[in-house]
Every structure is written in structure tokens, then in C-alpha cells.
Amino acid sequence: MAADRLAELTKRAEDPDLWSKPEEAQALMRERTRLDERVTGYDSLEHRLAETLELLELGEGEADAALVADAEETLIGLRDEAGRAEIQALLSGEADANDCFLEVHAGAGGTEAQDWAEMLVRMYTRWAERHGYGVEWIEESGGEEAGIKSATIRIKGPDAYGWLKTESGVHRLVRISPFDASARRHTSFASVGVYPVIDDSFEVDIQEKDVRVDTYRSSGAGGQHVNKTDSAVRLTHMPTGVVVQCQNDRSQHKNRAAAWAMLKARLYELEMRRREAQAQAEYDARSDIGWGNQIRSYVLQPYQMVKDLRTGVETSNTQAVLDGAIDDFMAAALAARIGPGGTRPAAAVGS
């Protein structure tokens, strides 16, 4: 029970010896704050539901149509709020409460795929803005004519990784290409990867001898989030082939630190997925940017439809989805998972 766990954490927080271990204390307080918000939210829902049912009964008893209508409208709102709280209760993984890195890579197809990759980045930044989350640009590689070849952003907010983790996979777009003079229909692919931002309390052992460090001049499509300096850093973890890069800051030292944090996040997430796959043979949708590994299809022509291929959730309001209205897709995917990723890998990565 969340209330029992909250009471246990509150008691542990009162132990003065805990604060001699700052990292452990910070992790405990983060979990306590998260649980406290959930327990308080549940109690509030329960209280408001009881009040609304009393008003509904009163309105029906006095034949007050306006009061009944208000109560029914409130019940609909409470139902939606309870549904979201129910899904949020599934965010019980070790890193679910954390910020996350989100990467988008264009598939084969040149300008068309690169434009689609940029549309996806915009979709996720709009989603973050809708939820009051912060967005930090980490890296961007611009396309030759339009769009982007790849981009990495950090999304900052409570449960950011928990909500976005099911977005990892290949996203397919079907539309009349704005870059085709013959106005033919094109199919484009882009992959999305989501990784938790983790701190030193997570055991990820990265041997420096296994990492190649390259520095290079920053480049991109332009804009205030790209600094064109000689400070960009690329890290390659040779045992796994994982590559991360950062060019957000003018300081090579800061970019290097950010790149190491990203590498640690990537390897931690890789280990979580490996263990998850052993437990339930989960299919890794990011293995190839192409037909066989899609999680969602976005069709703009000849009809309007966005459909999640894992859960069957679909909508014809494609513009709203591309503007960040993707909560229904994420909620269904989270419900289908029923909590994988909830165990913290015990083994170190890269050792």
C-alpha cells in the first residue's frame, strides 16, 4: 500500500543518521514526495466524489435540474482525473519519476524522412509544454534541405520518463510529400528512443577504457539552441556500440559531463530492457527503422488517422496529435505493459 510505504519513508526521514548519506537521503525524499502527492491526490478525489454524490442526491430529491447537471459534469471530470491517476499508479519503475532524454533519428528517405523526424521532435516538445515540463536541447544534426537527421532533447518534469518510455520505437508517416513536384504519396520512418536521466544512486559501471571520446565542431540547422563552437563531444561505448553526443553548451567540459550522463542513462535503459525481455520476451521496436518494427502509424493522405499498432488506439484528429495530444496513446501503452521496468537491474553494465 502506498500509504504504508509513505509512513515508512517518513519514519526513515526522521532518522538523523540518514543525512550523513546525501545520495541515499535525496533518493528517499524524492520517493517520499512522489508518494505523498499520490496519496494526497487519492484522498482529494475520494473527498470530492463523496461531496458530488451528495449534491447529486440533493438535486434529484429537490428536482433541481441545474444542480443535477452541475453534479454530473463534475463526475465526468472526476472520472477523467481518476483514469489518469490509475494510469499514473503504473509508473512504479525505479526511474519512472525521473527526467528523460528523448532522441529522434530519421530513417532512410532523405529530406522526406528528415522532415518527419523534425515533426516528431515538435510533437514531443508540444506535449511537454502541455504538461508544464521543461525542454532542453542537447544535440541536433540538421538535414541537407529541410528537417533533421537526428536530435536529442531532455524533458524535465515529474514522471517524464514514466510517461514517455512507451514512445520508444519506429513511427511511420504516410502523406503527400511537400517535397515531391508530382505530389505523390510517400511513406517515411523515424525512430524514437527514450532514456531515463539517472543519478549516482543507480549502479552503472562504465569503464573509461571502453569509451572512445571524440570532440568536433558543433553544427546544426541553426537557432538559439545550437552553438557553433569547437566544443561538441561524442562518446562511443565500444562493447555495446552505444553512441551519444552533446553540443548544447559552449563549454567542452559541460558538454562532456552531459554526454557522460546520457551514456549512463542509455546503458542503464539498455540493461533494463534486456532484463525485461528475458522476463516476458518483449519485442524491441527500435532495432530497425523500417516496416517491420513500427509502433505507430500516422496517415495524413488519403485519409486522416493515427493508430497505435500495439494497443489499437486510434484517432482521426491527426493535427491534435502532431500538436502533442498523445496522452491516450501513452496511457493505453502503459496499461498494456502493467509495470515492466519496475525492477532495478542488479548487475553493472559494461563491466
- The string of pLDDT tens digits covering residues 136-179 is 998 899 888 889 999 999 999 888 999 999 999 999 999 998 88
Last residue of a domain, one of 61, 88, 115: 88
Using CB atoms within 10 Å of the CB of residue 344, give its burial: 0 to 12 exposed, 13 to 18 middle, 19+ buried.
middle
Residue 348 lies in a domain: no
CA 295/CA 310 separation, integer angstroms: 6
Neighbours of 212 (CB within 10 A): 11
Are 82 and 20 in the same domain? yes
Residue 201 has pLDDT above 80, yes or no: no
Residue 300, classed as helix, strand or coil, is coil
Residue 155, classed as helix, strand or coil, is strand
Q: What is the CATH number of the domain that holds 175?
A: 3.30.70.1660
Please state the φ and ψ torsions of residue 310, each to the nearest 5 degrees: -90, -40
Residue 183 has pLDDT above 50, yes or no: yes
> pTM of the predicted model, to two decimals?
0.65
Residue 182 lies in a domain: yes
Our count of domains for the chain comes to 2
Average pLDDT, the chain: 82
Residue 50 has pLDDT above 90, yes or no: yes
Q: What is the CATH number of the domain that holds 7?
A: 1.20.58.410
Residue 295 lies in a domain: yes
Residue 346 lies in a domain: no
Last residue of a domain, one of 53, 68, 88: 88
Give the residue numbers spanning the domain of 51: 2-88
Are 179 and 145 in the same domain? yes
Last residue of a domain, one of 88, 112, 146: 88
Residue 228 has pLDDT above 60, yes or no: no
Residue 198 has pLDDT above 80, yes or no: no
345 closest CA partner among 243, 269, 242: 269
- The string of pLDDT tens digits covering residues 263-311 is 888 888 887 777 656 544 433 444 456 555 789 999 998 899 999 999 9
* pLDDT: which is higher, 226 or 260: 260
CA 209/CA 141 separation, integer angstroms: 27
Using CA of residue 303, residue 308, residue 312, residue 317, what is the dihedral sign?
negative
Are 104 and 59 in the same domain? no
